Amino acid sequence: MNDSSRYLLDDEAMQRFIIEGYTQLKSELPDDYHARMYEGLEPLDETGPLGHNNLLPCVPDLRLMLNEPRVVGVLTSILGPDYYLHFHRHDHVNFPDGAQPLHKDSDNHSHHAIDGLRRYHKTRYAMLFYYPQDTPVEMGPTGIVPRSQYVSRRDVDRLKKQGDQLRAEILEEIRQSMDTTAFEGTNRFKRYAETEREFRVRYPDLIEKIEATSAPWEDAKIPLLGDVGTISIVHFDIVHGRYSANLTGKQRHMVKFVFCRNEEPTTPSWNHHDPAWLGGEEDCQTPIWKHLWAWHLGASDSAVSPRSTDELSELLDDQDDRLATSAAYQLGSTSAGFEVVLEKFLSDNLEVRSIAGYGLVRAGRDAIPRLLVELEGADPTLQARIIDVIGDIGLEASDAAPVLTALAASSDVRVRRAAIEALGVVSQAEEPTTAGVLAALENALIDEDAVVVRNSTLALARLGSKAKSDTVVDRVSRNLSHWHHHVRGWSVEALQQMDDPQAMKLALQYLMSARWDHASKSGDLDATSQPMREPT
């Protein structure tokens, strides 16, 4: 067993992660290990089957780095002791590309953001970036914007969506003008380059607007520099992108893994001694940071904003995303402020309501009675939005489980998706899981919508042994052959989390049949022709 406890973060380091959104560490594996990883990554296809989500079968010794006590200790501190490795992983290769536009990773691998804007701030996912080579600025390191993980980018996202839609139209024009071979293999990259060139010719004014709104973010980014074996662990929603061009003439690899929290925190999972907030400096985001510190502690946030409701209400409408989000959190701390964020949340203003939702989450248990009232008679769009907030509230929303269970059978797919995912969080405190919740999750495993099935499987992984039954084990195992790779990925994890011999057997049988031997002709090599390498 790895002794990772001595590498747990202390209170100060944990609070710095909450504030900055990242922490860095150095692998303790020897340099020759990292050289082997670099060599193993070199021939892979960044977006093809030899690479991408198949990185571990292709370079299986990467697991040694992921299982280092130092890495396990930091991830345990941030995600809890039962975290697990997400099935999505990617080796970002950089040569000779220039700087990459800053972005937040697609939420498809975590939570599907309602309205495409409101992500979850709570640390339910984190990413690990690994450098198998020295990565100075000349090698084009990954860049991040510290303190950006809880900040929406409404202006940037609005323009980016407009640009993406126009690029898609241009790409389709190109597709219609060529035969299918023009998009096969690496030819697709040529088509993407043609699309970008044409986009810049047609829409210079839009490009100018995008660059202007992106400029403050670009000014705030920093490079994640590091010697060989440097590891960065970042909040899933941190703004990031390739910092600069690689000028070294040598490939730069940055291997990204995603890790998932399994259970909502009820106690600290790091080397904790003092519940006091040690953040020191005051910042407009301080109310956000303090709330998330309380959540990581498994405690309720009892802080009340000293600012007036009128002042905060005005800030909630501010175009500065940091100020608006901070105002939402502060409004959620008082009964008068709660009425303001609820009204804004129920409005037709997409951008304001996405921010107001954070105030409802901050209100926690106190928000549930009013949100349940609003659910009654609401149209499906609003129902999905309300359920999304209830799920984000987490364990304090356990009283909503019966209503969510009923809505899990909605004829509207958006409502089913949201209700099923929320049940996997709000029902964690139940021991055992109620029959109604279990029946809803069982039925969702055979839903016609792949995202509903995915969310049900994710919910079952989070509930683990509390939600196992013969029917659940049977349906999850059948979904190991589901057409959607998210369903297959979560199914393996759900079976492992159930603490059931039959479930574990089915998971292992699947993994053995899906095993990918990265050797070209396994077994044909004379065992005496290669020196034996001692395990690291």
Indicate the Cα dihedral angle 516, 519, 523, 524, nearest 10°.
Answer: 140
Q: Which of 31, 400, 426 is nearest to 230 (CA)?
A: 31
In tens, the pLDDT along 466-499 reads: 999 999 999 999 999 999 999 999 999 999 999 8
Asked, for residue 130, whether it belongs to a domain, the answer is yes
Concatenated DSSP letters for 226-274?
BSTTEEEEEETT-EEEE-S---SSS-EEEEEEEEE--S--SS--SB---
Query: Residue 516: exposed, middle, or buried by beta-carbon count in 10 A (0-12, 13-18, 19+)?
Result: exposed
Q: Is the predicted pLDDT of residue 1 greater than 50, yes or no?
A: no
In tens, the pLDDT along 107-151 reads: 777 777 787 788 999 999 999 999 999 999 999 999 999 999 999
Cis peptide before 96 (omega within 30 of 0): yes
Polymer length of the chain: 536
Asked, for residue 33, whether it belongs to a domain, the answer is yes
Asked, for residue 363, whether it belongs to a domain, the answer is no
Cα separation, 441 vs 423, whole angstroms: 8
Q: Is the predicted pLDDT of residue 23 greater than 70, yes or no?
A: yes
**53 is in which domain, residue-wise?**
5-151+222-260
pLDDT at site 534: 52
Higher pLDDT, 427 or 106: 427
Collapsed DSSP state (helix, strand, coil) of residue 167: helix
**Residue 2 pLDDT grade (very low, low, confident, very high; cuts 50, 70, 90):** low
Cα separation, 212 vs 208, whole angstroms: 6
DSSP 8-state symbol, 87: E
Asked, for residue 37, whether it belongs to a domain, the answer is yes
Asked, for residue 495, whether it belongs to a domain, the answer is yes
Q: Is the predicted pLDDT of residue 180 greater than 50, yes or no?
A: yes
Residue where a domain terminates, one of 214, 237, 260: 260
Work out whether strand 22-26 and strand 252-260 pair parallel, antiparallel, or are unpaired: unpaired
When pLDDT is averaged across residues 425-443 and rounded to a whole number, the result is 90
CATH of the domain at 87: 2.60.120.620
Helix (H) or strand (E) holding 184: none
Query: What residue type is 332 in one-letter code?
Result: G
Asked, for residue 72, whether it belongs to a domain, the answer is yes
Helix (H) or strand (E) holding 127: strand 125-130
Q: Is the predicted pLDDT of residue 517 greater than 50, yes or no?
A: yes
pLDDT at site 189: 75
Asked, for residue 336, whether it belongs to a domain, the answer is no
Tokens at 280, concatenated: 């020191």
Distance in angstroms between the alpha carbons of the first and the last residue of the chain? 15
When pLDDT is averaged across residues 296-308 and rounded to a whole number, the result is 93
Residue where a domain terminates, one of 260, 288, 315: 260
Sequence-ordered alpha helix ranges (H) in 277-427? 286-297, 309-316, 321-331, 335-345, 350-363, 368-375, 380-393, 401-407, 413-426
Query: Residue 289: exposed, middle, or buried by beta-carbon count in 10 A (0-12, 13-18, 19+)?
Result: buried
Tokens at 485, concatenated: 């790779």
Task: Show Cβ contacts of residue 333 under 8 Å, excluding neighbours closer than 6 positions.
Answer: 287, 301, 303, 304, 305, 362, 363
CA 84 to each of CA 64, 257, 260, 417, 497: distance values in angstroms, whole numbers, following the listed order: 15, 11, 5, 22, 10
DSSP 8-state symbol, 88: E
- pLDDT over 70 for what percent of the chain? 96
CB 429 within 8 A of CB 398: yes
CA 156 to each of CA 164, 211, 228, 486: distance values in angstroms, whole numbers, following the listed order: 12, 9, 34, 28
Q: Is the predicted pLDDT of residue 186 greater than 80, yes or no?
A: no
**Residue 528 pLDDT grade (very low, low, confident, very high; cuts 50, 70, 90):** low
CATH of the domain at 473: 1.25.10
Q: Which of 216, 230, 62 is nearest to 141 (CA)?
A: 230
Concatenated DSSP letters for 387-456?
HHHHHHHGGGGGGGHHHHHHHTT-SSHHHHHHHHHHHHHHTTT-SS--HHHHHHHHHHTT-SSHHHHHHH
Asked, for residue 138, whether it belongs to a domain, the answer is yes
What total number of domains does the chain contain?
Answer: 2
Cα separation, 89 vs 46, whole angstroms: 10
CB 479 within 8 A of CB 441: no
Rounded to two decimals, what is the model's pTM? Answer: 0.92
Q: Is the predicted pLDDT of residue 358 greater than 90, yes or no?
A: yes
In tens, the pLDDT along 490-516 reads: 999 999 999 899 999 999 999 988 887
Q: Is the predicted pLDDT of residue 258 greater than 80, yes or no?
A: yes
pLDDT at site 525: 54
